[in-house]
Amino acid sequence: MLDTLSKAFFHGLARNRTIEALASRYGMARPTSFGRRFIAGETLGEALAAARAVEASRMMVTLDQLGESVTTLAAADAATRIYLELVAAIVASGVERNISIKLSQLGLDIDCATCTDNVRKILEAGRPHGFFVRIDMEASTTVPMTLEIFQTLWDQGNRHVGLVLQSALYRSEEDARRLSAMGVRIRLVKGAYKEPPSVAHQKKAAVDAAFVRIQEYLLREGTYPALATHDPVIIEAANRFAEANRIGRDRYEFQMLFGIRRDLQTSLLADGYRVRLYVPFGKQWFPYFMRRLGERPANVGFVLRAILKDR
Ligand SMILES: Cc1cc2nc3c(=O)[nH]c(=O)nc-3n(C[C@H](O)[C@H](O)[C@H](O)COP(=O)(O)OP(=O)(O)OC[C@H]3O[C@@H](n4cnc5c(N)ncnc54)[C@H](O)[C@@H]3O)c2cc1C
């Protein structure tokens, strides 16, 4: 109940333009500003520096140029161009060629065909350079269209693209089976959006139980699954399951968000597991930031402390 309320509250605040304007002004202004806890920076240079630091610590990286829910084709086109620049900058920088994208940033809510074309441009730019492109999963209303676009791109022969499934959604267990049969690389997450009971588990225990079921399926039948969670109980369950079923540590990876559970990231790495960090950057960091607060309302405390310190 508290989980649902907290997500609803922060998702509501995320749509408040006044708070967004204030946060955008102060949240990244200084090296100690609160936004920097979860976001690598507003510029490409800051993102690449963060990616290099992650790689220096022997973790892998996926870069995410923040932005979502564009409402005009011009904005979707601009976002696509920014992604093409990102691809070129990553190649020039020498950091790992792995990015995460959101379809609502590329026109999903406006026109499906244009969005598909935009993703295709990014895939085509990345293919000769060995990129892997992960399509993030957004609110449940966008899932059918996201899967449809993915299928179109897959049918056109793209294999350097993967998807995300959310254990909160009832449909994800079936989606995991269908996509695994195709050989699709899946990132499994719990789900960051507030969803209604008609489509999603409402209790954390049910979301966690579904995560473990899908995780075991992907470990057995999937193609190099990415288990994206900071939940130590679930992580331990994954490793026990893999060991019991003789699934090597090179056949799956853990993924975590920049700035969250750094202790767990380093201890997994020290134990010989693969760990990839999701490194978000860009000026449009506010909705992403609010989802992180919604996951853990205790984070509000660190925001307030950072604001007081920065004054
Ligand atoms: C690499 C990656 C990619 C993701 N991509 C997507 C996506 O495409 N679509 C989507 O819907 N969701 C995505 N998510 C978010 C995900 O759905 C969850 O909302 C988020 O990971 C929190 O859930 P959890 O599995 O860590 O478990 P929880 O049960 O929420 O948390 C477990 C523990 O992790 C720590 N923790 C979790 N969140 C925070 C936080 N915000 N601040 C501080 N500590 C925290 C706490 O110690 C907590 O006890 C992604 C997550 C990761 C790690």
Per-residue pLDDT tens over the stretch 286-295: 888 888 888 8
Ligand 1 within 6 A of CB of 286: no
* 187-201, 214-228, 230-244, 292-306: range with lowest mean pLDDT: 292-306
> Is the pLDDT reported for residue 17 higher than 90?
no
* CA dist., res. 22 & res. 123, Å (int): 36
**Would you list the DSSP string of 73-111?**
HHHHHHHHHHHHHHHHHHHHHT---EEEE-GGGTTTTT-
pLDDT at position 3, please?
A: 57
pLDDT at position 112, please?
A: 96
pLDDT at position 311, please?
A: 58
Question: Is 136 among the catalytic positions?
Answer: yes
pLDDT at position 24, please?
A: 73
Three-state DSSP state, 7: helix
Residue of 109, 136, 175, 208 marked catalytic = 136
Ligand 1 center–CA 68 separation, angstroms: 18
Residues 6+ apart with CB under 8 A from 290: 10, 11, 13, 14
Ligand 1 center–CA 190 separation, angstroms: 7
AA letter at 292: R
Residue 257 pairs in a beta bridge with: 278
Ligand 1 within 6 A of CB of 278: yes
* CA dist., res. 157 & res. 259, Å (int): 35
Compute the average pLDDT of residues 223-230: 98
Ligand 1 within 6 A of CB of 137: yes
Residue of 187, 276, 291, 292 marked catalytic = 187
Tokens matching residue 134: 């992960």
> Is the pLDDT reported for residue 111 higher than 60?
yes
pLDDT at position 30, please?
A: 79
Ligand 1 within 6 A of CB of 294: no
User: What percent of the chain lies above the pLDDT cut of 90?
Assistant: 78
Tokens matching residue 186: 């899946």
Ligand 1 within 6 A of CB of 162: no
**Would you list the DSSP string of 14-78?**
HT-HHHHHHHHHHTTSSTT-GGGGT---SSHHHHHHHHHHHHHTT-EEEEEE------SHHHHHH
Ligand 1 center–CA 155 separation, angstroms: 31
Other C-beta atoms closer than 10 Å to the C-beta of 301 total 10
* CA dist., res. 207 & res. 7, Å (int): 14
pLDDT at position 310, please?
A: 61
> Is the pLDDT reported for residue 5 higher than 60?
no
> Is the pLDDT reported for residue 1 higher than 50?
no
pLDDT at position 32, please?
A: 79
* CA dist., res. 241 & res. 215, Å (int): 9
Mutate to test the pocket of ligand 1, among 260, 265, 289 (most ligand atoms within 8 A of CB): 260
Ligand 1 within 6 A of CB of 255: yes
> Is the pLDDT reported for residue 44 higher than 70?
yes
Ligand 1 center–CA 260 separation, angstroms: 8
pLDDT digits (tens, 9 = 90+) for 146-192: 999 999 999 999 999 999 999 999 999 999 999 999 999 999 999 99
pTM: 0.93
Tokens matching residue 31: 């090296």
Compute the average pLDDT of residues 226-236: 98
> Is the pLDDT reported for residue 39 higher than 90?
yes
Compute the average pLDDT of residues 191-207: 97
* CA dist., res. 61 & res. 138, Å (int): 21
User: What percent of the chain lies above the pLDDT cut of 70?
Assistant: 93
Q: What are phi and psi of 60, to 5 degrees?
A: -95, 170
pLDDT at position 297, please?
A: 75
